Amino acid sequence: MSQIKNMKQMERKLQRADRKQSRLYLFCNFTALMIISAYSALMLSPTVQKVFPKGGDSAKQMYAIFVMTLVGCVVFTIYALGLFFRHKSGQLGILMALGASRKRLAPGLYREVIFLSGVSAAAGTVSGFPFVWVIWHAFRLLLVDSSDMALTFDFRCLFISLLFLLLVVGFACLTAWRYLKKTNIMEVIREEHINEPVKELGRWCGPAGFLLILAGAVLGYGAPWACHVWFSTYPPAWVSVFYAPVFVGLYMVMLHTVVHGWKSHRKNPYKNIISRSMMKFQGKQTVNNLLVVTLLVAGGCFAIFYLPTNCVSAMVRYASQPYDYFYKYQVDQDVPDRETVEALGREYGLTFKEWNECDYVTLGIGGNTSVFEEDGLHYHTEYVPMVGEAKILSEDAYQTLTGQQADVKPGTYMNLTNQEESFFYTNESAKELTNMTTRKQLATEFAGFLHYDLLTEDIPCCVLDNGDYAAISEGLTDDWRGRFVGFNVDGKDSYPFADAFYHLFVSAFDESCERPRYYDRVQKIRENEAGIEYWGDTDDFTVISYELSDAFAFRQNWVYQPDFRILNQNDYLRSMAVMFMMFLFIFIVCMITALVVCHTRCQSIALNNRYIFDDLKKLGASPAFLDKEVRSQCSNVFKVPSLVGMTAMFLLFSMILYANDGRMLMTEWAAMGVCLGIIAVIGCVIYAVYRSTVKVIRGQLGIV
């Protein structure tokens, strides 16, 4: 006798039988929610939030890639849902044809989709936390660990996952409702076989797409510059629309891939005609999927390229600095003197050589600054006599410290920059220097550059004629006076010494020096005197604390942060760990999402065209031929978006590095070389997933 007595029991049995069909949907839902919940958990965790400066470029990049990942997840979730319903529609159609009304089918169908979507989404959301915890701790265990990296969660991030979960369940119900609403039952039954061809464009669309991508990149990158130069205005947010041609171009490139492919078919128009046609008739979704994968691969590359471009230049800078230990301090601070440092060095078996130190003063320097017009949009450049701070050395002090001779004429100043003259914080427009204690001024003018990397920082550093230096620094109080010290280790350096010295050094400063490098005392005085509150004294200002002297924010921003080569070399990754690991995590998430989209798309192309493969078999196609067709389909899905995404990001990074100062430095060439290596590794991973996808599809289509 039959075990099935009613609709509910029948639906349950059919669901059990359809487990295979549901698996892909469950997998996609689970993966999407896991990725979203893991990304949002990490992105909004206090661990990351305290490291990424609010409104900074890194934070913006992190949010932008999150949005991209979100779009990717939405696309593949909706697509997996579509696939699930394509299979389900046959069953629904039969039941409708046999007289099941909408009301009769609705409860079971809604129950099934809500259960599948809800359970997979909830499981994904919950798994996001262990997922991020495991990856983060793997980073800590295998790559780098620091006190900054202690992972804590702000569970408000669940709000994003919850929204996505509701979207998944809501969209599943909406799709179910859409199917139930259909009056043409034959359409429901045949749904699985309905094609979705894309509107064809000529063979020009691919090359035109590449041109548009290029044009969009140049326009998008150049638009902010044009705002400054041509319109004297800060670029508004909408200026990003100039990047729009990039997306149109990408669409056209993907369309070309789907419709025409990239090989010429003139000689043999029948070559690969089956795989091209298969792809073309699933065109709409394929193009959308390829587009999303391209963006995800590009996002992943953008994140991962951040590491070498930052690391390589920093490592080269540390390796080439002329002093093992270089630091500065205000003379009113009780900083360990040479004897104390040498005594500490002896405790670690170190002796020092080439010990050099010299005085400097901090003065107010004149210069051009941007002043907003009344409309709040445009600005003009205005000369201000005390635009900000400048560190000033005499010719003799400069020679003592650097060993270089500086011949500075009275009434002039020479500005320090790095060897490549690629440094931004120079001042070539000063007409006077101001003693901030006596307010005495010295007329001066720019006389050229001197080059010394260690003296280039956010505050301009200048060298004056010995006489001018003595005259302008007369009467200056100690809080405006400072000292540069540099020395080398005789023999092999010791990290424990550097660490001990660093902490001793930091502990010597009082709270008057507990400020970041971009806190400008001259600007504060000028603005306060004009009745304006200095922005550095407002709540939004990033406060730093001696108690967190090992933290990323402190080491990046403290005004007297010393340059200890061995400390920087060893602690660089550790102090930048959270930022780097976040970008590494973003890369992993983007790549997982992209690979899941590719895998799903390949599966859907294969499953939707199962009948074509069956027909081809009947027409005598050999397994080798069928295998070639499968590989050709999958290769287009994996290859083109990966190549376009990776190449676009490589070119964009090269363009950014070049556009920074109009040339490529050795460190930048080295960084791009590393990026190329990373591309090769990513390519291998993508190839491995492609192979595994082909194997799965071969099994599904029964190609032996």
Partner 1 sequence: MLYVKDLYKSYETGKNKYEVLKGIDFQVAQGEFVAVMGPSGSGKTTLLNCISCYIPFDKGNIRLGSMELAGMNEDALARVRNTKIGFVFQDFMLLDGLTIRENILVPRIVQGEVKEEAEKLADQLADMFGIGHILNKYPAEISGGEKQRAAVARSLINNPLIILADEPTGNLDSKSSRAVIETFGNAKEQMKATIFMVTHDSFAASFCDRVILLKDGTIYRQLEKAQERGAFQDQLLDAIKKMGQED
Q: Which residues bind partner 1 (CB under 8 A)?
A: 1-7, 10, 13-14, 16-18, 91, 94-104, 183-187, 189
Give which of 25, 27, 31 is closest to 131, Cα–Cα: 31
d(CA 525, CA 555): 26
Would you say 199 or 380 has its CB closer to partner 1? 199
- 243 secondary structure, DSSP code: G
- 445 secondary structure, DSSP code: -
d(CA 479, CA 628): 76
Would you say 112 or 563 has its CB closer to partner 1? 112
First to last CA, the chain: 39
Half-sphere exposure of 134 (CA within 13 A, CB side): 7
Would you say 91 or 309 has its CB closer to partner 1? 91
Interhelix angle 623-661/666-701, nearest 10 degrees: 160
Residue 42 Cα distances to 128, 157, 496, 582, angstroms: 10, 9, 32, 8
Would you say 183 or 538 has its CB closer to partner 1? 183
CB of 87 to partner 1, least distance (A): 11
CB of 104 to partner 1, least distance (A): 6
Would you say 191 or 514 has its CB closer to partner 1? 191
Would you say 1 or 684 has its CB closer to partner 1? 1
User: What string of DSSP letters covers 666-686?
Assistant: HHHHHHHHHHHHHHHHHHHHH
Residue 245 Cα distances to 66, 71, 203, 210, 224, angstroms: 22, 19, 19, 10, 16
Give which of 524, 412, 444, 521 is closest to 477, Cα–Cα: 521
Residue 33 Cα distances to 39, 49, 159, 582, angstroms: 10, 22, 12, 18
d(CA 523, CA 527): 6
CB of 145 to partner 1, least distance (A): 52
Would you say 90 or 224 has its CB closer to partner 1? 90
CB of 8 to partner 1, least distance (A): 10
The amino acid occupying position 307 is: L
CB of 241 to partner 1, least distance (A): 33
d(CA 704, CA 698): 7
CB of 99 to partner 1, least distance (A): 2
CB of 201 to partner 1, least distance (A): 18
Cα dihedral across residues 175, 179, 183, 187: positive or negative: positive
Would you say 97 or 319 has its CB closer to partner 1? 97
CB of 66 to partner 1, least distance (A): 40
Would you say 156 or 618 has its CB closer to partner 1? 618
CB of 261 to partner 1, least distance (A): 26
Give which of 264, 284, 291, 277 is closest to 633, Cα–Cα: 277
Q: Give 500: exposed, middle or buried? Use CB within 10 Å, 0-12, 13-18, 19+.
A: middle
CB of 607 to partner 1, least distance (A): 15
CB of 156 to partner 1, least distance (A): 43
Would you say 5 or 54 has its CB closer to partner 1? 5
Would you say 12 or 280 has its CB closer to partner 1? 12
CB 387 within 8 A of CB 426: no
Give the residue carrying structure tokens 């010791």. 494
For the chain, the residue count is 704
